[in-house]
Every structure is written in C-alpha cells, then in structure tokens.
Structure 1
Amino acid sequence: MLMGVTLIFWGWMTDQPLVGLILAFLMEGPHWIPIRWNFGEKAYVRAWSISVAMMLLTAIILALGKIEPETVRIFVSWMPVFLAPLQFTQVYGFSDRMPLSTFSYFSRKKMALDHALGMTVHQLLIPFTPVYFTLTLLFTAAGRNAYHPMFFPGVLVLILWCLWALIGKGVRRKSALALSMILTVTLAAIGQWGLIMAHAWLNGGIGEQSSHYGGDVTRWHRSNTNIGQVGKIKQSAEIFWRIRTEQAPS
C-alpha cells in the first residue's frame, strides 16, 4: 500500500496523475493478482536494458528541442516510469532480490569468465523495492507541483509511514520512533519556516536596492515578472495580442 500511495503522490507532484495511478495499480497488483513468474538473471538484465532504452529514447526526444534546466527536470521526474520494468520483476517474481551485477555489463562478463575458469562466483543480491521507493520519493521534488504546500507534509508522512512499518511490533521501539517523529517534524518545520523567512528577507532587500537605483533591475533569484511568471503569462479575455511588422527606414 505504501508504494501505491507514493506513486500516486509522485503523479500528483509531477502533474501526471493518470500515470501515477496506473503505476500504483500495477505495483500493488500482487495483492489481488495471484500470478507470479520465476524471473532469472537474464530477465533482470532485460528489464534493466528496457529501462536504459527508455531513458535514452526520452533523452533523445528532449534533446531535439532546446536543452534547458526545465528539460533536465522533466527527464529526472520520469525516473519511476523508467525503472518500472525492474520493479515489475520484484513484485511479480518469486524472489524479492536481484543480482547487483544486473546493472553492470563488465561485472557480468567478469563473473562469466570466473565461472568458466572454475572459480567460485558469489552473487551479491539486493532488494530493489526499497531503492525504487526511495528514488520515487526523491524525484517527486522534480515535479511541477513541488512548490505546493502539501509537498513537504506529504513527503514527511510517507517517510514516517515507511519507518513505522520497518520497526516491527515492539512497543518500546514504537515509542522511541514516535518521539523521534515529533522531533523530526518540529525541526523540519522550523527549517522550512527559516528558509521561507530568509527568502522573504532576500526579496525585500533586493527590492529596496532595486527601488533605490531606479527599480528596473532584474532579480536573479526570482522567475516572476510584471506580466506573469516564466512559462505563464497573465492574460485577459479583453486583450488581443497582435504582431505588426514595419519596414525599417532605408
């Protein structure tokens, strides 16, 4: 359930609610779908290859336009979609771990060579679900709605939910976690308030300097202008934009 809620939250923050909902149903499907596959090492490698191919294809499509910070943000915000094939093998497979060599071509070649030479090969297995959860939560910050007031509380709730599920049923552990939760939320709220106040103070200081020197000074730390924000222009139904070309004087 935690993974599904996290993916829905990611879809909300990245302004892709339908994609987030589809991923949530897909990853939580094993609770209702009794179908499992015996994925082997080759299946994990193929899933990783599909993920890499999706990343490269998306990067090429985005690169056809102008490379801007917004382009990078869009790319990284889709990381949960790129890594979905790997997570699929975890939730619909009999094993919840995969070899670490899945992510390295050279490591797989070396292990194959060691095996051919008769050497003992030890596979390091890792659970990918915690990695997928962490990356999904991390890349919600790259979403368009990351400045929404619910972003910070949402991330806190998901993190605390995860920690609560990990500590087991010990009463003493839960009490300690509850106290640490209160302390963490308090410190995080104070830090967030401090950042907001510092930003407001910086805006005020720059504004005073700008008005002192004439007022028409570009503020490097702000994206809003007199006609809207970057990417958004305040428009009125009573205003019609016209472009008129005039011949330059000879």
Structure 2
Amino acid sequence: MSTSPPKLLAGTALIFWGVLTGNALVGLVAAMVVEARSWLGLRWNFSRASYIKAWQFSILCGAFISILAWMNGMKVGKIHTLFVWAPLIMLPLELAQRYGNAAKIPLNTFSFFARKKMEHDLQQGRSISPRMINTGYPYIAVVILATAMASRNELHHFIGLTLVIGFCLYAYMRHGGFRPMAWISAFFLVILLSYLGQWSMFKLYNYYT
C-alpha cells in the first residue's frame, strides 16, 4: 500500500493554511511547487546525505526566521508563535521526498546520534536496516497544526480541518477496498475529533498568547 498522500491533498492543505493565516499567495506558490511533481518528470536519485542536508537546511530556515523575529522585537516567550511558518520551514525536506526516486527516507535522517550509530555499525561490518518514513502525511499534519496556531476564524478552520482529514481518510481506505458505510461512520468520527482538536489548539493558542 502506498504511504504517500494522494495528488492535491498537500496542495489543498497549503492553500488552506495560506488563506487562514493571511498568506494566500505564499500558500498558493508552495502548493504549486509541491504538487508540480505529479505532472513533471523531474526526479533525482538522492542519497542519504541529500536528505540529511535538506533536513539541516530546514533547521537553518527555522533558526533564521527566529532570529529575524527576535531582531524585530519578538519576545523569547512568544517564539512558539513562529510555528505558523512551519510549512515553509519544512518545505525543503518535503520537496526532497517528493522529487526523489525513493518512496521513503531513513528515519534516522532526523537524529544526529542515530546516524552516528548507523555509521559505527557499518564500520563494524554489521547489517543494518534503518526504519523508513514517507514525510507526506506528517508534513500535512504540520500544515494543519500551523493553521490552527494562527487562524482567527474558528468556523472556517473547523470546516477546512474536517475536509482535509476526511480526504486523508478516504485516500487511506481506498487502498484497502472502499466501503461507503464504513467511510461515512469514520468521517463523522473525524468531524467530532476535528472539533475537539480544533478547540484544543485554540485553547493552547489563547493560553500562550
């Protein structure tokens, strides 16, 4: 079963993020770049080192945005509000995943110590089998959470969150044999969980701001 999101799902989430955070143009451009891989034949054979560099570049982007915000007067206690830019900060890694030939990337990409352990095992001649992950759905989750951190319109956020998660559920169930009644039941459960999640995120946002 494919572990990558269906076409347009990540793009839809990015547009949703852009509209509700006041960055509609940025969200549209990011969505076009992410979804263009479905229609372009551009693919590269990225090595493990390439994914590590993409992850490190994402970290540098986050640090750069944080420093700029601090220089513009943002207090250290409010630095968590910069999570609204997480979809752009994580974009380099997501693009490496999407435009690479590999369906998944090593999970130890995100851990310096795990990578060092793997290198040590290789030097000792041990057989290794690192856990692999497709960043598609985690990236969409980051986009949704970033939207919740900044959105002021609870109704629009709730509707958008429900549709995006419902789309994810449909894409997942389709691979295992789509059953309408099961999907409808699950979708109503998603609506309930979406409301609780949206309410929790706004409570968290109001607590810190």
Query: 1:89 Cα deviation (Å)?
Result: 1.0
Equivalent residue for 1:163, pick from 161, 169, 172: 169
Render the CA deviation track for 1:151-177: whole Å, top value 9, x for unaligned: 111100110111011101635x33112
Give, in whole Å, the separation in 1 of the partners of 2:126 and 2:148: 45
Greater fraction of residues in helix: 2
Match of 2:50 among 38, 43, 57: 43
Partner letter of residue 169 of structure 2? L
Residue 80 of structure 2, aligned match among 72, 81, 89: 72
Q: What's the counterpart of residue 141 of structure 2?
A: 134
Q: CA separation of 1:46/1:113 partners in 2, compared to 1, >3 Å: closer, same or farther?
A: same
CA distance in 1, matches of 2:193, 2:123: 55
> Following the alignment from structure 1 to structure 2, what is the Cα–Cα distance between the partners of residues 162 and 86?
21
Is the aligned partner of 1:125 residue 2:125? no
CA change 1:15–1:41 in 2 (3 A) is same
Amino acid at match of 2:75: I
SS in 2 for 1:36: coil
CA contact (8 A) 1:8 1:20 kept: yes
What residue in structure 2 maps to residue 149 of structure 1? 155
Q: Distance in 1 between matches of 2:92 and 2:107?
A: 16
**Using the alignment, how far apart are the partners of 1:121 and 1:55 within structure 2?**
31
What runs of 5+ residues in structure 1 fail to find an aligned partner? 196-220, 222-229, 231-250
Q: How does 1:67-216 map to 2 (within 5 A)?
A: 67=75, 71-73=79-81, 75-143=82-150, 145-168=151-174, 170-171=177-178, 173-185=179-191
Q: Secondary structure at the match of 1:13?
A: helix
d(CA) in 1 for partners of 2:69, 2:38: 36
User: Residue in 2 aligned with 1:245?
Assistant: none
Whole-Å separation in 2 of the counterparts to 1:4 and 1:115: 39
Per the normalisation by structure 2, the TM-score is: 0.83
Percent identity between matched residues is 31
Q: Could you say if the C-alpha distance between residues 104 and 186 of structure 1 is closer, same or farther in structure 2, counting changes exceeding 3 Å?
A: closer
- Cα-Cα RMSD: 2.5
Counterpart position of 2:17: 10
Structure possessing the higher radius of gyration over alpha carbons: 1
Bigger relative contact order, structure 1 or 2, given CA contacts below 8 A and separation 6+?
2
Structure 2 equivalent of residue 59 of structure 1:
66
- Matched AA of 1:153: I
How far does the alpha carbon of each residue in 1:80-112 deviate from its partner, in whole angstroms, 9 at most, with x for none?
101101100111111121111111111111111
Q: CA deviation at 1:188?
A: 6.1
TM-score, normalised to structure 1, is 0.70
Distance 1:185 1:111, change over 3 A: closer
Q: Which runs of 5+ in 2 are unaligned?
A: 1-7, 200-205
Alpha carbons 1:10, 1:140 under 8 Å: kept: yes
